[in-house]
Homo-oligomer: A and B are copies of this chain.
Amino acid sequence: MVAPSTLPAGSVGSVETRYLDLPAPLPLDCGRELSPVRVAYETYGTLAPTRDNVILVCHALSGDAHAAGYSTVASGTGTRDGFAAESRDGAAGKALGWWDGMIGPGKAFDTDHFFVVSTNLLGGCRGTTGPSSINPGTGRAYGSDFPVITVADMVRCERAFLDELGIERLAAVAGGSLGGMQALQWAVTYPDQVDSIVVIASTHALHPQGVAWNAIAREAITRDPAWQGGDYYGTGRRPDDGMSVARMVGHMTYLSAPALDGKFGRRLQFADDIRYTIDRPEFEIESYLDHQAESFIKRFDAGTYVRMSRALTYFDLARQHGDGSLARALANVSARTLLIAFSSDWLYPPIASMEIEAALTEAGKPVEYHLIEAPYGHDCFLLEEARQTPIVRRFLREEEQ
């Protein structure tokens, strides 16, 4: 435990991930039902007696429920992507939450006012039921039998989970990347239950280049012989090599070329000269990628990774809810929408947020869009906390008026 007196200002302190079992089977887009479903979650702040101060924060591809404060379990969670992953160990070797810079007393999601809830996504590998969970029908891990899930399934799971907490209405749903997709999906699926959404570095539908990068990452994993069709659990072999390559691909798409120039340049590991090797890192950027992959495979499951990746590519509001029209898809939204994008984010480029803004405006919905000029690519959503904070705080305060 971190003693309160040693906590930095704005910290929610030590937190423990808790678990809740849903009381009923969860229907899925693919037509199947999943049961039982356990949800890993954390909460920060205090639920108002009127239960109207709840913010749900949704994590991205490789995150977990530990969004803020110091985890009481061992450090090294490191759920933040890209450069952001580097400085996440908190005081006393405790792992800091992936959005700690945004959640806490006086922060963007101010726990002096709001009750912030964070869950591990459906299909996850950090406590919520996923492909590595035991299938009660067989007594073994689901593996390939775990369903392919969608963003709408994740949101349906979050809805069922909040029902158990006795929370009907959300003051806000917030997230970046895949988390932002969930926020959008909430506003579309449960228009009467969401007052506002905060959609950061996200999109209404990944562009084809993004679809391709995700496909390549999945190819790297599923072509690894250790993947064994997805049924590697309990075999003593894991698709670590495929996961490493997938992570390297993902990692590169989170960063911008100028950020890499600034951080690594063409510096060699061995300052004197090249070493004429094929499969050993010689440039600092190569060594960095190796290191990122190595730490990732220790904490993340390949079965979860491919499903999160697939959900990302399927997500398409216009196709799924508007017969091809984004404005039609958003026609029933009643939440106020805050969109934040970053100039150097080429995986979730600003144009996608601008399209959402245009569609909401066309439909007469309240929306504001902020473009932040920053050089770190998609990673900005985890790095540029200081610049997002005033925007988010002001947006949420308007909610309260």
Contact = CB atoms under 8 A, between A and B. Distances in A.
A264 B206 CA distance: 13
A73 B211 CA distance: 37
Interface in A323-371: 346, 349
29 contacts: A30-B276, A147-B276, A148-B278, A206-B266, A207-B260, A208-B261, A208-B264, A208-B283, A208-B285, A209-B252, A209-B255, A209-B257, A209-B261, A211-B283, A211-B285, A212-B285, A212-B286, A215-B281, A215-B283, A215-B289, A216-B252, A222-B279, A223-B244, A225-B225, A230-B278, A249-B249, A257-B346, A257-B349, A278-B310
Contacts of A274: 314
Given A205-B266, A215-B248, 17 more contacts: A30-B276, A206-B266, A207-B257, A208-B257, A208-B260, A208-B283, A212-B260, A212-B289, A218-B278, A219-B248, A223-B241, A223-B242, A230-B278, A249-B249, A257-B346, A274-B314, A278-B307
A171 interface: no
B220 A278 contact: no
A222 B286 contact: no
Contacts of A225: 225
Contacts of A138: none
Contacts of A260: 207-209, 212
A265 B206 CA distance: 10
* Residue with the greatest number of chain B CB neighbours at <10 A, chosen from A211, A265, A278, A349: A278
A261 B208 CA distance: 6
A277 interface: yes
A185 interface: no
A245 interface: yes
A79 interface: no
Interface string A225-257: 100001000000000011011001100100101
Nearest to A208: B260
Nearest to A209: B257
A289 B216 contact: yes
Given A216-B289, A244-B223, A245-B223, A313 B252 contact: no
A306 interface: yes
A64 interface: no
Contact of A208 (B30, B218, B230, B265): B265
A213 interface: yes
Nearest to A262: B208
A209 B248 CA distance: 12
Contacts of A285: 208, 211-212, 215
Given A216-B245, A220-B245, A225-B225, A211 B286 contact: yes
B278 A222 contact: yes
B218 A252 contact: no
> Closest 8 interchain pairs by CB?
A223-B241, A148-B276, A222-B279, A208-B260, A30-B276, A209-B257, A215-B286, A216-B248
A169 interface: no
A377 to B, nearest CB: 10
A316 interface: yes
Interface string A1-45: 000000000000000000000000000011000000000000000
Contacts of A147: 276
